[in-house]
Amino acid sequence: MNSKIRNIFRLITCLAVLTQPARLCAQNLDASYMSAGGKLRPLQAIMDIRHNTLALDVDIKNQSIDGYMETDLILSKSTDTLLFDLVHLLRVHAIEVDKGKAEFVQTGDSIFVLNKAGFNAGKHTVRISYGGKPPVAVRPPWTGGFTWTTDKAGNPWVAISVQLQGAKMYYPCKDHPSDEPNEGVDMFITIPRGLSVAGPGLLQSVKNVANNKAVWHWKTNYTISNYCVVFDIAKYKVYTRPYTTVEGHQVPIQFYVLEVDSAQAREVLNIRARDTRILEKYFGEYPWYKEKIGIAEVPNSGMEHQTMITYGGENFNYKKYPGFNYSPNLFHEFTHEWWANKVTNKDWAHMWIQEGITTYAEALFFKETLGDAAYDSVMVSQHAGIRSQKPVVQAEELDMANVYNGDVYSKGSFFMHTLRHVIGDSVFFPALKKFVTDVKFPYDRFFTTKDMQVYFNTVSGKNLDALFDFYLRTTNTMDFELKQNRPDTWTLSIKNSPMDLPVDIQTSAGIIKTNIAANKSTPFRIISKTQPIVDPHGWYFKKVIIQ
Ligand SMILES: [Zn+2]
């Protein structure tokens, strides 16, 4: 069933039984229809989230959580209703606004906080006490929720993955990528003593409390995406090595590895240091140098949780290359610290900015380690992976379920490759780095495709709008038709091209460098004893029909 129809159906069911919603709606344990983001609702558009404090007691045996989320927010205008998102499986016990008891209605996956007299414009603190059994992850990290499992030694191992379904899967929030808590997040996670919590930012304290439990306080002062506000619990050991950023800042690399996998720690730290150095070369200083470069081992393939990216699923079986190991999963999630966590898309419709450029970084890794031919072979395989069933950018303000597909990765990446050729290395590479590091683009800014378009037009001095549209807003390929007229004479017709672009043609006499016009009607004559090869380097997403 289409996820939207399913959502509406479930909401109607819940509304119809509003007198006893907890009992009946709780029977619907499926939360896989949920999707992050979408159209920003007016009640949430007036809220600017400033800071979150998440305090949860995690009952591993019962697979439940209990506690509160306290949110500091600024209302841009007065309202009689505040709206938060929370999966229906978790029940709200009480809500306080500015330390006073507040009326509320919890229905479906929404919480409406009500005040007939109105909440004035300005700053408010909302504390939502809640608890219950959060959704269990069906196929983490994609169909997410909580993973409750054990390590090889039988110790509890808990991980959270909520990027696709949204942080509302486990805490009350404004579940939209365009707003992050500007002043960061405090997390107080209570767990059985003897286990550890891996979280974002810096560990402030671990305090023993009653019932043989301990409270782990993690704090980040940086702005952070909702889905990165997560924690992992395990019998972890922490391995650390120092790292000096390209700008000279000292930041620790910390690996929260399962105690049973301790022998793997050294190589992960080595890989992390090397990959960070390469990523800094292309994208600038590690963005979160005031806190840490964190990694936590989890029982899934990993996610870009800010300052504590997660890693797992490969069983430490790296790809082997002469002189080095490579982990595609580690490298991908590392790269997201720049593209996703620092440069964040404003809504999921523009997810290619995060995933496409992160995927492109894989080619840059091989350019750096094995040379240009290795870069080229990555791009050939990414070209082959483009499906072109839907445009990469289909519209504006889309939720994750309508956006997520492979082309956001492969075609988004291939677009960067084409752009590199069109504007040239001397413009492209500095521009890419500047986009991440420029103080004009601070940590709390969000980006759309249009923002990137305007930026690359400015830095290149070219109008690239048609190229952006062609690659990102259509499923078209550049179409060429090559026809042999005589044994050594050919004509090349350009059937479809977004704009004037530089194209190489390989002939028996060498490479011809030419420019093709958009939808050029006059065929291009080529003299070659061998069949010419259009775009032999493979810079373009194209089809060549040989007649
Ligand atoms: Zn990714």
For residue 5, the CA-to-ligand 1 centroid distance in Å is 28
For residue 359, the CA-to-ligand 1 centroid distance in Å is 7
For residue 273, the CA-to-ligand 1 centroid distance in Å is 20
For residue 142, the CA-to-ligand 1 centroid distance in Å is 11
For residue 233, the CA-to-ligand 1 centroid distance in Å is 22
For residue 410, the CA-to-ligand 1 centroid distance in Å is 11
For residue 190, the CA-to-ligand 1 centroid distance in Å is 30
The span from the CA of 205 to the CA of 292, in Å, is 16
For residue 543, the CA-to-ligand 1 centroid distance in Å is 28
pTM of the shown model: 0.93
pLDDT for residue 17: 34
For residue 519, the CA-to-ligand 1 centroid distance in Å is 35
pLDDT for residue 522: 72
Residues facing residue 328 across a β-bridge: none
130 Cβ contact partners less than 8 Å away, ≥ 6 residues apart: 66, 67, 68, 69, 86, 90, 91, 92, 93, 172
In this prediction, the residues of the chain whose per-residue pLDDT falls under 50 are 1-27
For residue 304, the CA-to-ligand 1 centroid distance in Å is 7
For residue 251, the CA-to-ligand 1 centroid distance in Å is 24
For residue 178, the CA-to-ligand 1 centroid distance in Å is 18
For residue 355, the CA-to-ligand 1 centroid distance in Å is 5
pLDDT for residue 15: 38
The span from the CA of 418 to the CA of 503, in Å, is 11
pLDDT for residue 457: 98
pLDDT for residue 198: 98
CB 34 within 8 A of CB 168: yes
For residue 94, the CA-to-ligand 1 centroid distance in Å is 36
For residue 65, the CA-to-ligand 1 centroid distance in Å is 28
251 Cβ contact partners less than 8 Å away, ≥ 6 residues apart: 242, 243, 244, 245, 286, 288, 289, 290, 291, 292, 293
pLDDT for residue 533: 97
For residue 88, the CA-to-ligand 1 centroid distance in Å is 28
Interhelix angle 328-335/352-369, nearest 10 degrees: 120
pLDDT for residue 75: 98
SS3 547: coil
**431 membership: H or E segment, kind and range:** helix 425-437
In tens, the pLDDT along 435-489 reads: 999 989 999 999 999 999 999 999 999 999 999 999 999 999 999 999 999 999 9
For residue 73, the CA-to-ligand 1 centroid distance in Å is 29
For residue 329, the CA-to-ligand 1 centroid distance in Å is 9
For residue 438, the CA-to-ligand 1 centroid distance in Å is 23
pLDDT for residue 29: 74
Count other Cβ atoms within 10 Å, centred on residue 487: 8
For residue 336, the CA-to-ligand 1 centroid distance in Å is 7
For residue 156, the CA-to-ligand 1 centroid distance in Å is 27
Residues in the chain: 547
**111 membership: H or E segment, kind and range:** strand 110-119
